[in-house]
Structure 1
Amino acid sequence: MLVSVIIPCYNEEAVLNLYYKEMDRVTGILSNYDFEMIFVNDGSKDSTLSILKQLAKEDERVKFISLSRNFGKESAMYAGLKNAKGDYVVLMDADLQHPPATLVEMLRIATEEGYDSVATRRMTRKGEPPIRSFFARQFYKLMNKISNADIVDGAMDYRLMSRDFVDSLLRMSEYSRFSKGLFGWVGYKTKWVAYENVERAAGETKWSFWKLLLYSIEGIVAFSTAPLSISVFLGMLFAFFAFIGLIFVVIRAALYGDPVAGWPSMVAIILFMGSVQLVCLGILGIYLSKIYLEVKKRPIFICSDSNIEDIRL
C-alpha cells in the first residue's frame, strides 16, 4: 500500500533536513507501507529547492514540484494532491509542528477502523498569542453558524485521506481555495486526533495576524453567502430608521418651526449611513472579485521544475 506525503515548503531551508530525518525514522517504523514524499517548493527565495534536489538524489522516495513563483499554501497543497499516487495521502507541514510520529496512529485508525479521513486538531493553543487565539476561536464559531462546512476548532491541515476522499477534493478545482472548508464540505467518515501544540523546529512562521485575517475572510466568502444577507438586512433596518427619522423631522418642523436645530446629529447620521453603504458595497465587491477570478480560468499553479516524469498540471 502506497502512502503519499505532501509537504508544502516556503523558505524552509532551516528545517528540511530535520524534517527528512524524522520522516525517515517514522517510515522505518511503518515498514509494511511504501512511501513517496512530495515536497512542493512554493517559490522559495532561499536554498529550499537545492536541498530538495539533493534529498531527491539520495532517496528515490523524495519527489519535488517547484512552482514558478509563490502561489500560496493552498495552491501548493493542490499541486501535491493532484500528483499524489498513494492509496492514502497525507498533508503535513515541514516545520515539525505536525509531528510525523502521529502518522503511525493515523494509519492504524484509517486501516483498522475504516475511516476515510483522519484529521488532527490542537488540544490547546499554548505558545500562541492570546489575541490570535481569541480571534481564531471566534472564526471557527462563526464559520460553523453561517456555512454548511464542518470546521472543528483547532483543526490543522495535518490530515490523512483515502483515495476516494482525495479524488473528491480534486473535483473541486476552484481558484480561490479554502481547504479547511473543503475537507468538511466533501463529508466522508472522519476521525479527529488531538495533540499538544508544538513549536516550530527552526525558522519563522509565515503566517502573520494580517495574513490569517485575510485567510479567514477567504473562508467566509468561499463557504457562505451570509454576509450578503447581512448587508441586505442592514439596508432594510437603516431604511426603516431613516423613515422614522423623516417623520420626526417633519412633525418637529410643523410644531416648532425650527428646521436648523439638530444639524450636527443629522450630519452624524448621514456619515454613519454612508459608512454602512460602503461596507455593504465592499462585501458585494469581495464576492464579485471571486467570481472575476473564477471565470478567468487561470491555472491554480504553474510548475517550473520537478523530478516527477508524468506530472499533472
Structure 2
Amino acid sequence: METTINIIVPCFNEEETVELFYQAIQQTFEQLPNYHPVIIFINDGSTDHTLPKLRQLQHNKAVENHYLSFSRQFGKEAGMYAGLKVSQGELVTIMDADLQDPPSMLVEMIHLLETTNYDCIGTMRQDRSGEPVIRSFFSNLFYKIINKISDIEIIPGARDFRLMRRNMVDAILEMTEYNRFSKGIFSWVGFKTKYLPYQNVQRVAGKTSWNFWSLLKYSMEGITDFSTVPLTIAIWLGLLVMSISFAALIFIVVRSAIFGNPTKGWSSLLSFILFLGGMQLFFLGIIGNYIGKIFLEVKHRPLYIIQEKK
C-alpha cells in the first residue's frame, strides 16, 4: 500500500522554477516506489506567468499535482497554512519552488521518519554562502535574540522545509492566529524533531522576492509574535529614565538654591528633552505594534482568499 505525501509549495513569481521543481520531484520519487507524491502549489498572487505554468502542469500526470491561486498576495505564511489545510496525506512537507530545498533530501527524511519515532524531520543550513554579509549578520543576530527572550527554541538556520506526520500537521492547523510565524509555531507545538544539516543551495532560476527590509520586518514579526519581553524592557527602561530624571531634578533644585539659577545649559536641557521624547515615541511604537496585532486578530479576517483552484 502506497503512503501519500503532500508537498506544499508556496509560489510568488516563480514562472521559471515551477516546471524544474516538478521534474526534480518526479526524479526523486522514482527512488521511492512505495510513496505517492501529491504536489500542492500555492500561487500567492504572482504577477508573472506562474499561474499559466501551473495550469499547464495539470496535463502532466507523472506526478499528481494541484494548485490554489490567491486573489492577491497574502504572503508565504498564508500560503503554507492554506497548503496544510487542504493536505490529506499521512506525511506532509513544505518546500520552496526555487530548489533551495533539495528534493533529494526527501529520500533520507522519509527513511528517518518511517524507521524512528520522530514526528518531524526538519532541515537546517550549515552556512549562508552566497548571501550578503549584512543579511547573514542580522539573521544570526535574530536567532540569538529570539532564543534569549522567547520560551521556544528556534534552531539557527532552520528552514520551513520539513517532513511532518499527520498528527503534527493537525496540531499546527489548530493554531489559527492571523499573525503567523511558522518557524515559531513549529517549535511551539512541540513533537519530536530531528534536523538534518545541508550546505546552502542557490536558486536554480529567477530572483528571490525577499530583500533585506522584508526579512527584517519578518524577524520583528517573529519576535513580537512569540515574546512580550520588548514590553518588559520598555517598562524597566522607562523606570530607569524616570529615576535618573528625578535624581537630576533634585540636583538642579539644590544647585539653584545654593548657587542661584544660571541660564546656561539650555542646549543640554533641550537635548535631554528630545532624547526623552524620542524614547517615548520608540516605546509607543513597540506598544502600538502589539496593539496592532490585537486589532488584526479581533477582526477575524480570513488568512487568504482563493480565486481559483484545481
Give the superposition deviation at 1:127: 0.5
CA distance in 1, matches of 2:163, 2:201: 19
Structure 2 Cα separation of the partners of residues 217 and 108 of structure 1? 36
Residue 15 (structure 2) aligns with: 13
Offset at residue 259 of structure 1 (A): 3.3
Q: CA RMSD in A?
A: 0.8
Partner residue in 1 for 2:51: 49
Q: Tell me the TM-score normalized by structure 2.
A: 0.98
Matches within 5 A, 1:1-313: 1-59=3-61, 61-307=64-310
Letter in 2 for 1:206: S
Q: CA deviation at 1:54?
A: 1.1
- State the identity as a percent: 50
SS in 1 for 2:30: helix
Q: Measure the CA separation in 2 of the matches of 1:156 and 1:260.
A: 60
Q: Quote the Cα distance in structure 1 between the aligned partners of 2:26 and 2:59.
A: 15
In 2: Cα distance, 1:259 partner to 1:226 partner = 42
SS of equivalent residue, structure 2 residue 37: strand
One-letter amino acid of the structure 1 residue matched with residue 256 of structure 2: A
Contact 1:149 1:182 in 2 (8 A): no
Count of residue correspondences: 307
Aligned-residue offset at 1:12: 0.2
> What TM-score do the two structures reach when normalised by structure 1?
0.97
- Corresponding letter in the other structure for 1:240: S
Task: Give deviations 1:21-61, integer Å, cap 9, x for gaps.
Answer: 11110011111111110000001111111111111122261
SS at match of 2:175: coil
Q: Per-residue displacement from partner, 1:61-97 (whole Å, max 9, x unpaired)? A: 1110111110000000000000011101000000000
Where in structure 1 are there 5+ consecutive unaligned residues?
308-313
Aligned-partner SS, 1:57: coil
Aligned counterparts of 1:30 and 1:47: Cα–Cα separation in 2: 31
Q: Secondary structure at the match of 2:8?
A: strand
8 Å contact from structure 1 (residues 41, 66) kept in 2 = yes
Secondary structure of the equivalent of 1:206?
Answer: coil
Distance (Å, rounded) in 1 between the aligned partners of 2:305 and 2:120: 28
Mapped partners of 1:18, 1:186: distance in 2:
33
CA distance in 1 between partners of 2:171 and 2:252 (Å):
59
Q: CA deviation at 1:258?
A: 2.9
SS of the equivalent of 2:200 reads: coil
Task: Report the CA distance between 1:235 and its aligned residue.
Answer: 0.8
In 2, distance between residues paired with 1:99 and 1:254? 75
